[in-house]
Amino acid sequence: MVSAVLKSPSESAPKRSFRQQMHLAREDAIVSAVNRLLAEKGFESMTVDEVAAEVGIAKASLYKHFPSKEDLAAAAMVRVMQRAQAFLDGLDTKRAPLDLLREVARWTMEVQLAGEMPSLPSENSSLRAALTTNKAYVDGLMDVSDRLGAWITAAQASGGLNAALPPIAVLYTLYARACDPVLGFLKGSGQYSNEQIIEMVLSTCFDGLKAR
């Protein structure tokens, strides 16, 4: 009989060298800087020089981690998808599907109002290519979309959402809340708190504008 030897995660996982740890720490700092600059300035206005200056490294060193501006943006979106997956993992899936969808929309708006949601152009072929060929991003997007899609169809079946709407249209509407300019306009007015802004946009998104 052969007995299996159980190892703890720390024993089974290969220990990273100091150089590897520094490499990962620098990449984390780069992605954090890119995330902030994309949220603040957008993809077109952000420059690689700004990212390098923010991290405190030479541009040549930055290119050793990420070979292009598009790859920098893709890395930031991978982090967003990882955050979204972690948020979904923490939700109580026994709740009503419509409630879960509202919580997701609320979270995306909270992230945007906190200045932590990258702003990317919808029409940019090189950026689109970088995103669609990034396996981590595509896998994360598919996972999030599948989970939201299941809640959308369940909410439509229960009467919580308009069943006449294509589920893909509802999904894209929810994704749009992550980059909704209305949030910035309302915040810029100085008349409302973040919570008030979120409640107003949630109402227009899920309840509509028509008086009942």
Domain ranges of the chain: 71-206
pLDDT at 154 over 70: yes
pLDDT at 9 over 50: no
Q: How far is CA 25 from CA 20, 28, 82, 122, in A?
A: 9, 5, 17, 30
- Looking at residue 23, its pLDDT comes to 73
- Looking at residue 5, its pLDDT comes to 42
pLDDT at 8 over 80: no
Q: For residue 141, how many C-alpha atoms fall within 13 Å in the half-sphere facing its CB?
A: 14
- Looking at residue 210, its pLDDT comes to 65
Non-local (6+) Cβ contacts of 51 within 8 A are: 30, 33, 34, 37, 62, 72
Q: Which helix (H) or strand (E) holds 141?
A: helix 135-157
The length of the chain in residues reads 212
**Span 98-153, pLDDT tens digits:** 999 999 999 999 999 999 999 888 788 999 999 999 999 999 999 999 999 999 99
Say if CB 127 and CB 43 are below 8 A apart.
yes
Q: For residue 147, how many C-alpha atoms fall within 13 Å in the half-sphere facing its CB?
A: 19
Say if CB 56 and CB 30 are below 8 A apart.
no
**Span 13-24, pLDDT tens digits:** 568 786 777 778
Of 42-51, 82-91, 118-127, 180-189, the one with minimum mean pLDDT is: 118-127
Q: Which of 84, 76, 19 is nearest to 43 (CA)?
A: 76
- Looking at residue 24, its pLDDT comes to 82
